[in-house]
Structure formats: C-alpha cells, structure tokens
Amino acid sequence: MRSTFYKYAIGCCTGLLVGISSYGQGSYPDTAARQAQLDNIVANYYGTIGDQSRLYNGPEYNFYPKSIKGSAYFADALDFNTGGVQYDGFEYKNLQVMYDLNKDAIVMQMPNKEASIELISERLQGFDLLGHHFIRIEPAVLANAQNLTAGFYDQMYKGKTEFIIRREKAIQNNTSGVLDRFFTDESRKMYLFINGAYKSFNNQNSLYDVLGDKKEELKKYVKDNHISFRDEKEQAMVKVIAYYDQITN
C-alpha cells in the first residue's frame, strides 16, 4: 500500500499508542502485556475500517489552483458528496467522493478529512454519485466497443438497449484581454448499445436514426406524451429508449 494509507493509519493510532505507553508505565510494566494491548488497538483499527483499507492505496490527490475559473467536477460540485464505488470486485457505500471530469478520476476523502486520494481507475468497475451510476469501459477488452475511449461512462439506462454518456471537461486558456485559465463546460458523447455494438448519436433526430426500425412509433410517442428534448434532453432520451425496448420483441 502507498504512503497515504500509512499516514492515515498513523494519524488514527498515534494518540492511542501514546496513551497506552504512558498508561503501561504505571499499570503494565510487563512488556508482553503492553504488546497485547497494542495488538488489540491495531486489530480494532482494522476492524473499524474493514475491507475499505484496500481503497487507500491510490496517490494523494492535489486540488486545482483557485486561479482556474469554474469547476472540474461532475455536476459542478464544489465539495464531496456521499457516494459508493465498486472496487476490485467489492462494493463500498457511504464514501465521500467527487468525480474529476478533466482527469476522468474518482477522488475520495479520507475518513479523517485531512487528505484526499485518487482511486486507481483500472481497479474501479463503477461508482454511484448524485443519483447517477457510472461504469468503466475498457475498449481493448471489448470487441464491440472499439469506437469508445477507455474511461467512465454515465449509465443512463440499461434494458435490452443500453444508453451511456461520456462526460468530459478540459482546461483552456483565455487569451482575450487578461490571460487566465478556466474549465470548459461539460461535453457529452452519447452512445447506445444495440444489436451487439455501441453506436453514437448526439440529438433527437440521430437517436431516431439509430432506432430506425421504430422511428415513426417513437415520434408519435414523443408527440402524444409532450416529451420535450429542450428542457430535459437526457431524460427525454431515456424515455424514448425505454419505450423502444417496450415495443421491441
């Protein structure tokens, strides 16, 4: 494990160890008894963090300079939010996390709130944050995903058809007037997994094209149910795709 975990462990245990040492000088002159007490502290520590200790092996995360305008994070979050991750095949809930869209990285706040670490992306199968479920896709191991880049995708809908979104931000320089840097607005690349492959689309009409065998039925469904692609574009697409699955054998 990396130094971040050891720093956290030492921080949690140091105060207790000092107390045990001082207390032992008066009440536990026997070295074996003091060692047993120490072993008990360490056991209790690992019992408290449980299997979460495997999460604490990523590098320490350095936040961006405040001079960069805007936010690098999903939903423009300015602080950590409660979420969960699927890591090394295990699920961990009630963590304090942020999703850095510029680095495509998951940031987790340590329980002592004195440091934050970047989880190792290749060991993450997915995560949940702010009502969204993200999955990791590795095109190198998926023959049907060669037009996707490796990384995290927001799984908006999963039925017979799957709807995912790749969300990204970047840092740009503003050279007009005063030189400064800022994060771009979130960009989105949308895909459907249908007929055994991922197909890209970017608007209402191209969605109809991908779902071409039911285009007229879908248009009628949108009209009859007053579904607006202007106000809630992503949710409108979810409704159309779910209806497509409903009317498709």
Residue 187 is encoded by which pair of tokens? 């960009």
In a domain, 215, yes or no: no
Which stretches of the chain score pLDDT less than 70?
A: 1-30, 34-52, 176-178
pLDDT, tens only, 108-118: 999 888 899 99
pTM for this model (two decimals): 0.80
Residue 93 and residue 159 in one domain: yes
In a domain, 225, yes or no: no
Length of the chain: 249
Residue 18 and residue 109 in one domain: no
Question: Between β-strands 124-129 and 116-118, what pairing exists: parallel, antiparallel or unpaired?
Answer: unpaired
E strands present in 46-161 = 81-87, 90-100, 105-109, 116-118, 124-129, 132-137, 151-158
Residue 81 and residue 161 in one domain: yes
pLDDT, tens only, 47-99: 545 556 778 889 999 999 999 999 999 999 999 999 999 999 999 999 999 99
Which residues pair with residue 51 across a beta bridge? none
Residue 102 is encoded by which pair of tokens? 């510029």
Give the number of domains in the chain.
2
Residue 91 and residue 29 in one domain: no
Q: Residue with structure tokens 């503003």?
A: 174
**Cα distance between residue 64 and residue 183, in whole Å:** 11
Residue 18 and residue 80 in one domain: no
pLDDT at 233: 95
Residue 193 is encoded by which pair of tokens? 């997994």
Give the range of the structural domain holding residue 32, as residue numbers without chain letter: 3-55
In a domain, 60, yes or no: no
In a domain, 249, yes or no: no
Residue 178 and residue 121 in one domain: yes
